[in-house]
């Protein structure tokens, strides 16, 4: 019951925070003068007429009402009237078409990073203060500190250009699961993984080292378990309590992707769309994507908190 | 001893401790250690952090010292020293970080570089050493500091003399003999490249001689080019100077050239119905302020084409096979009009993707093609049927004509009805100057009233350097507007063709346009008096008139660095362009030194770029240091402000608790849920006119203090109920005093640590934002690490050094800050040691 109440409370707060931010964003965006980029074969008058018809020159409260009405009655988040490539297309449609590459790349990178990172962390913790641990810890420090775009440059230069293993940028097209496409995604995936691997390794090592010094580990050994048995059954499980939520959180924030990596490898993803919207001042898509990113951030934090309760019954949030 | 013995111990067995001594508080042996001193002791034990701190100090020092002492600045850029590679060693024998790169090229490209060293001694091929493989590829080390070689440059008389003075004074050679324009390679890119001296044709011949010989032993010799393209010394200068210039007779609207007789009949005495015009020829139209231009001149098929050369801001006119013009009488070759004849085409290059194609392609009034960006189009001027066709010019700006199709409202070209068809005026050619566009504004929005009308005068001037007429089309008079004449100069035969003249008072008069500019002279060609008919050669231009003794008439300067000719030859040292300008051929590396020593008098002593240069020719070393300096200042300023605001906010939250805390915490929650990207984008939109630095600062501030406030709040919750706080309150201390005198110092360690850790993340954010192009810190005198990275990314594959150094810098900085920050945290909060993150 406590749990349910806690979840409801958290969700309520989330919705409230989200709505307030969205309203502020909406007002700030609508307070701006509308910028119209006229493309080839386009008539300014027509665009203005179109925007007028959509009510873009109404007072802000009216616009807000219309915006809400559009969302809840038609699922209409507006149109990309300023993006040359997606002129007059629905924001949601464009977003949907951009989601798969972002999602795929981040899921792949998580799939690579989680096992490797955790394995390295466990290894380092077991070999604590030996040379293996020193090497791993130093490398991890290095990889955590160096910005991801620097790896991206390195990967692009070494693997894509010098060794020619992969194409320089991601292939165009929508066939996301073909082998060629997978190959072309790999540089981005690898560049993204470096940081995550280091992060997981460091976190796992820290947690596991602490757990390994506990008295119950001694007990486990004393009662006759081998070191491997004791580690997997007792130490790892307990170490996973804080690690697991962070993995869950990572998976939620996977949706948002990385703007820089997408730019470097020309990935036609959400990040690229967001940058395009910002540069072209396409307010509708900016508004929608901002909402998306805010929601992802809020959701990630709530999911992390909740998963603590799920994985470890001793932790019950909100319990008095 | 048995237990029962222990239970009943007699009293006597007990002895008092210290029976005879008094108990004293022992005096402290060591001095008490303060919190910070203690932390410093712990910090000093962490080797990694110490190393980190030292490197950070070095990087800060780098950021402070380099911009002060560097001979370059951020605003410095030199287009000839673009893409220069890092140079650390100046020795000839070290092939590492010497500003060179290993190249494997084919023979033609290799010879191009080899010839530079062969002529000037400034070796582009390092040590002039190369190896050749079995596939005829040449491998050598290219010195990027010398790869520019020699360039053509137009200088004023003063500069020309100043360079010569410098040459004598410093005993270096900057100016090298120049090649005759007519003998240069015919391809455009080769013609403008001064390094192709070995490709120069022999005087009077159309073929290029054997340019070079690669001997068995590997040495390469070049044909003595100076001799090949030099001119024979005149026997007598007088011959040339005595030639009578054409006589100009002032007329009402301009000048007239009197011709004895204009024959309009053929050999049999019949009237020529259609005068025969030159079959080939070209007329160059220069924009007045662009003296360096030289554009494509090609053979043309039927019909005249007008081409706007966007690279050089010139209008190139091709005239071939003119049989029609004299009939319809509206042919003015490029200068300003399109006649209604179908033969005339306007050809406009589209420059960038954001430039719109001017016209739909019409053929007999029908739309044939719609404009597509980045393609070339021909516009048929045949609009005899149509009067409703309006053409829209979007903007006219420095030679770039931006026009939009007729579905967008903008300025309108109005076609004027004339005898035999319609015509419109060509758009103007240069910024801020008069042009012929008669654009009428239409539409309610974006009212572009580009109403530029003809003014002043057109001038025709013979360009000695290129053997062409320079036509300054700065305005146009009625004379040239309606007069039926033209000049054509055939460059190969060096002859002028006369267009059409009119008969005035029984004499045929050819009107020249009015010359109203003092430094422009009228046509200065030598014209033999005689009988001419249209299409005839009026005169032959003698080269001798222009080249005298290897230089010019009137150029009395003799530099000892001048290369004397061999035998019967003297070298052309400069070519006089127009007015008082000289075209010279200079070695850029030497000229660069001259320019910085003698003209600019700045700090630059040599061209030496430690980290190489960017695509704009900026020094990466200096740019990186000043970008870093900016980042440090920004980060420290923001961290300081955030620390103060966060501390106060967190203190109030934590100290008062309850409802105050609840409300303030909600605000924090909302603010922290907004991604930084959104904050900065909205700020950017709203603060359009403000400086990007200010936007960045505010954005960092808006979200940055939240972390600090959380930390302070936590500490306050921990300490506010402690006894000493209670004691202070009982003694009557005010809230403010309790907060900042008693509780706050407890959180000092955490705050200091987090402030230090915030600095690298801020630098990282700034770098990312400039890289993504959301914030643009790249102004003339400022740059940032992110800007450097973003600008270098297109060259990752070709010039990796541009990205390497900024990337190393930012990585090192982040690493050291993390090490340093972790060490600080461990030092201030020993209980947290080991639990990273």
pLDDT in tens, B56-88: 999 999 999 988 888 888 888 888 888 888 887
Comparing CB atoms, the residue among B764, B774, B834 nearest residue A147 is: B764
State the Cα–Cα distance between residues B229 and B209, nearest whole angstrom. 11
Task: List the single best residue of A44, A157, A261 to mutate versus B (max B Cβ within 10 A).
Answer: A44
pLDDT beyond 50 at B226: yes
* Arithmetic mean of pLDDT over chain B: 62
CB contact residues (below 8 A), chain B span 456-475, against chain A: none
Eight-class DSSP state of B776:
-
State the Cα–Cα distance between residues B366 and B147, nearest whole angstrom. 52
Give the tens place of pLDDT for each residue, B768-814: 888 888 888 877 778 888 888 888 888 888 888 888 999 999 999 98
Task: List the single best residue of B59, B392, B395, B673 to mutate versus A (max A Cβ within 10 A).
Answer: B673
pLDDT beyond 90 at B54: yes
Specify which of B34-48, B207-221, B444-458, B629-643 reaches the highest per-range mean pLDDT: B629-643
Mean pLDDT within B91-107: 81
Q: Is B767 on the interface with A (CB under 8 A)?
A: yes
Closest chain A C-alpha to B681 CA, distance in angstroms: 7
Task: List the single best residue of B408, B801, B808 to mutate versus A (max A Cβ within 10 A).
Answer: B408
Long-range contacts of B644-649 (CB under 8 A, 24+ apart): B645/B701, B645/B705, B645/B708, B645/B709, B646/B704, B646/B705, B646/B706, B646/B707, B646/B708, B646/B709, B646/B711, B646/B712, B646/B751, B647/B708, B647/B709, B647/B712, B647/B744, B647/B747, B647/B751, B649/B705, B649/B709, B649/B712
Closest chain B C-alpha to A227 CA, distance in angstroms: 23
Q: What is the dihedral of CA B285, B290, B295, B300, to 10 degrees?
A: -10
pLDDT beyond 80 at B579: no
Q: Is B678 on the interface with A (CB under 8 A)?
A: yes
Q: Is B689 on the interface with A (CB under 8 A)?
A: no
A281 found inside a domain: no
Closest chain B C-alpha to A225 CA, distance in angstroms: 28
pLDDT of residue B832: 55
CB contact residues (below 8 A), chain B span 505-524, against chain A: none
Beta strand B305-309 with B345-348 is: parallel
State the Cα–Cα distance between residues A306 and A312, nearest whole angstrom. 10
Domain count, chain A: 1
pLDDT of residue A161: 84
pLDDT of residue B387: 27
A116 found inside a domain: yes
Q: Taking chain B, what is the end-to-end CA distance rounded to the nearest angstrom?
A: 56
Q: What is the CATH number of the domain that holds A124?
A: 1.10.3720.10
Beta strand B575-576 with B439-440 is: unpaired
pLDDT of residue B760: 85
DSSP string of B73-96? Answer: -SS---GGGTTPPPB----TT--S
A31 found inside a domain: no
In this complex, do B836 and A264 lie within 8 Å of one another by their Cβ atoms?
no
CB contact residues (below 8 A), chain A span 163-192, against chain B: 168
pLDDT of residue B26: 67
Task: Say what the ipTM of the complex is.
Answer: 0.89
A313 found inside a domain: no
In this complex, do B678 and A44 lie within 8 Å of one another by their Cβ atoms?
no
Give the tens place of pLDDT for each residue, B691-716: 888 898 999 888 888 888 888 888 88
pLDDT beyond 90 at B11: no
A37 found inside a domain: no
A159 found inside a domain: yes
A190 found inside a domain: yes
List alpha helices for B202-288, DSSP H: 225-229, 237-242
pLDDT beyond 70 at B208: no
In this complex, do B797 and A161 lie within 8 Å of one another by their Cβ atoms?
yes
Q: Is B83 on the interface with A (CB under 8 A)?
A: no
Q: Is A23 on the interface with B (CB under 8 A)?
A: no
Q: At B249, is the secondary structure helix, strand, or coil?
A: strand
CB contact residues (below 8 A), chain A span 249-308, against chain B: 259-260, 263-264, 274-275, 278-279, 281, 286, 290, 293-294, 297-298
State the Cα–Cα distance between residues A137 and B392, nearest whole angstrom. 66
Mean pLDDT within A91-101: 88
CB distance B52 to B823 below 8 Å: yes
Comparing CB atoms, the residue among B675, B819, B835 nearest residue A297 is: B675
CB distance B638 to B697 below 8 Å: yes
State the Cα–Cα distance between residues B760 and B764, nearest whole angstrom. 6
pLDDT of residue B511: 40
Q: A162: domain range?
A: 99-268
Q: At B773, is the secondary structure helix, strand, or coil?
A: coil
Higher pLDDT, B521 or B602: B602
Burial A41-61 (b: 16+ CB within 10 A, else e): ebebeebbeeeeebebeeeee
A35 found inside a domain: no
Mean pLDDT within B89-107: 80
Q: Is A143 on the interface with B (CB under 8 A)?
A: no
């Amino acid at each position: 019951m406590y749990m349910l109440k806690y979840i409801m409370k958290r969700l309520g707060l989330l919705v409230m925070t989200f709505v307030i931010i969205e309203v502020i964003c909406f007002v700030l965006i609508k307070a701006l003068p509308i910028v119209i980029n006229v493309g080839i074969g386009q008539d300014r008058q027509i665009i203005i007429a179109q925007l007028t018809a959509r009510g873009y020159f109404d007072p802000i409260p009216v616009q807000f009402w219309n915006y809400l009405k559009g969302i809840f009655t038609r699922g209409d988040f507006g149109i990309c009237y300023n993006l040359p490539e997606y002129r007059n297309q629905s924001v949601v449609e464009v977003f949907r078409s951009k989601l798969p590459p972002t999602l795929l790349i981040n899921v792949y990178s998580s799939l690579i990073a989680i096992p490797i990172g955790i394995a390295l962390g466990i290894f380092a913790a077991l070999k604590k203060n030996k040379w293996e641990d020193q090497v791993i810890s130093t490398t991890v420090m290095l990889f955590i500190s160096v910005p991801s775009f620097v790896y991206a440059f390195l990967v692009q230069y070494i693997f894509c250009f010098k060794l020619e293993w992969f194409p320089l940028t991601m292939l165009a097209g929508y066939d996301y699961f073909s082998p060629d496409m997978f190959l072309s995604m790999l540089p981005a995936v690898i560049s993204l993984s470096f940081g995550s691997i280091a992060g997981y390794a460091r976190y796992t090592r820290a947690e596991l080292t602490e757990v390994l010094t506990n008295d119950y580990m001694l007990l486990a050994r004393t009662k006759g378990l081998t070191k491997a048995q004791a580690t997997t059954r007792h130490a790892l499980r307990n170490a996973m309590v804080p690690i697991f939520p962070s993995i869950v959180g990572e998976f939620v924030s996977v949706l948002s992707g990385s703007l820089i990596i997408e730019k470097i490898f020309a990935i036609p993803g959400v990040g690229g769309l967001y940058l395009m919207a910002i540069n072209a001042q396409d307010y509708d898509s900016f508004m929608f994507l901002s909402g998306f990113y805010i929601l992802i951030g809020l959701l990630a934090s709530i999911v992390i908190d909740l998963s603590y309760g799920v994985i470890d019954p001793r932790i019950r949030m909100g319990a008095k | 001893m048995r237990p029962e013995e222990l239970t009943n111990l007699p009293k006597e067995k007990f002895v008092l401790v210290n029976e005879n001594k008094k108990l004293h508080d022992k005096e402290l042996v060591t001095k008490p250690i303060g919190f910070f001193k203690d932390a410093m002791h712990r910090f000093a034990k962490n080797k990694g952090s110490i190393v980190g701190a030292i490197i950070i100090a070095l990087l800060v020092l780098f950021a402070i010292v380099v911009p002060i002492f560097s001979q370059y600045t951020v605003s410095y850029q030199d287009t000839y020293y673009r893409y220069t590679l890092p140079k650390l060693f100046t020795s000839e024998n070290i092939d590492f970080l010497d500003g060179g790169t290993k190249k494997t090229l084919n023979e033609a490209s290799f010879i191009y570089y080899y010839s530079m060293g062969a002529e000037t001694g400034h070796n582009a091929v390092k040590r002039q050493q190369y190896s050749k493989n079995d596939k005829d590829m040449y491998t050598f080390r290219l010195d990027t500091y010398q790869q520019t070689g020699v360039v053509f440059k137009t200088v004023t008389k003063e500069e020309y003399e100043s360079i010569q003075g410098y040459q004598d004074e410093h005993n270096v050679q900057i100016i090298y003999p120049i090649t005759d324009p007519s003998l240069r390679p015919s391809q455009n890119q080769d013609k403008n490249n001064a390094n192709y001296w070995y490709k120069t044709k022999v005087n009077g011949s159309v073929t290029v001689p054997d340019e070079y010989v690669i001997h068995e032993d590997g040495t390469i010799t070049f044909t003595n080019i100076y001799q090949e393209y030099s001119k024979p010394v005149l026997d007598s200068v007088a011959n040339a100077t005595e030639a009578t210039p054409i006589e100009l007779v002032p007329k009402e609207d301009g000048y007239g050239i009197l011709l004895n007789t204009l024959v309009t009949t053929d050999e049999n005495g019949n009237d020529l119905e259609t005068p025969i015009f030159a079959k080939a020829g070209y007329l160059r139209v220069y924009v007045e302020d662009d003296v360096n231009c030289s554009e494509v001149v090609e053979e043309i098929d039927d019909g005249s084409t007008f081409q706007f050369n966007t690279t050089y801001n010139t209008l190139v006119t091709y005239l071939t096979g003119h049989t029609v013009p004299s009939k319809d009488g509206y042919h003015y070759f490029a200068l300003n009009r399109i006649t209604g004849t179908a033969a005339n085409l306007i050809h406009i290059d589209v420059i960038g993707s954001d430039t719109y194609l001017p016209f739909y392609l019409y053929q007999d009034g029908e739309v044939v093609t719609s404009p597509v960006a980045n393609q070339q189009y021909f516009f048929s001027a045949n609009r005899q049927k149509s009067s409703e066709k309006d053409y829209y010019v979007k903007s006219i700006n420095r030679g770039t004509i931006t026009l939009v199709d007729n579905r967008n409202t903008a300025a309108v070209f109005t076609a004027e009805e004339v005898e035999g068809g319609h015509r419109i005026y060509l758009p103007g050619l240069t910024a801020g100057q008069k042009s012929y566009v008669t654009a009428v504004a239409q539409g309610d929005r974006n009212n572009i009233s580009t109403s530029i009308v003809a003014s002043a005068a057109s001038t025709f001037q013979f360009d000695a350097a290129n053997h062409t007429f320079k036509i300054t089309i700065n305005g146009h008079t009625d004379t040239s507007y309606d007069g039926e004449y033209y000049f054509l100069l055939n460059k190969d035969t060096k002859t002028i063709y006369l267009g059409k003249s009119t008969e005035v008072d029984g004499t045929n008069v050819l009107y020249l346009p009015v010359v109203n500019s003092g430094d422009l002279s009228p046509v200065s060609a030598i014209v033999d008096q005689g009988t001419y008919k249209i299409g005839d050669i009026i005169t032959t231009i003698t080269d001798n008139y222009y080249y005298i003794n290897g230089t010019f008439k009137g150029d009395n300067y003799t530099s000892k660095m001048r290369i004397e000719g061999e035998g019967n030859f003297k070298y052309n040292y400069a070519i006089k362009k127009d007015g008082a300008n000289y075209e010279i051929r200079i070695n850029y590396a030497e000229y660069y030194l001259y320019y910085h020593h003698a003209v600019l008098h700045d700090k630059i002593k040599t061209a030496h770029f430690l980290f190489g240069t960017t695509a704009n020719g900026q020094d990466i070393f200096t740019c990186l240091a000043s970008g870093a300096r900016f980042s440090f200042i920004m980060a420290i300023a923001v961290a300081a402000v955030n620390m103060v605001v966060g501390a106060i906010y967190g203190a109030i939250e934590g100290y008062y608790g309850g409802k105050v805390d609840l409300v303030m915490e909600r605000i924090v929650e909302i603010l922290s849920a907004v991604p930084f990207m959104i904050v900065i984008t909205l700020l950017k939109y709203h603060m359009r006119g403000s400086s990007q630095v200010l936007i960045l600062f505010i954005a960092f501030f808006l979200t940055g203090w939240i972390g600090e406030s959380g930390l302070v709040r936590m500490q306050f919750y921990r300490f506010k109920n402690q006894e000493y706080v209670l004691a202070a309150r009982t003694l009557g201390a005010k809230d403010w005093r309790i907060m900042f005198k008693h509780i706050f110092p407890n959180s000092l360690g955490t705050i200091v640590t987090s402030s230090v850790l915030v600095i690298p993340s801020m630098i990282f954010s700034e770098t990312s934002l400039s890289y993504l192009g959301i914030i643009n810190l790249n102004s003339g005198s400022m740059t940032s690490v992110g800007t450097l990275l973003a600008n270098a990314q297109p060259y990752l594959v070709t010039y990796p050094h541009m990205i390497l150094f900024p990337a190393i810098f930012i990585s090192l900085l982040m690493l050291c800050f993390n090490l340093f920050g972790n060490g600080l945290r461990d030092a201030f909060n020993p209980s947290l040691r080991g639990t990273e993150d």
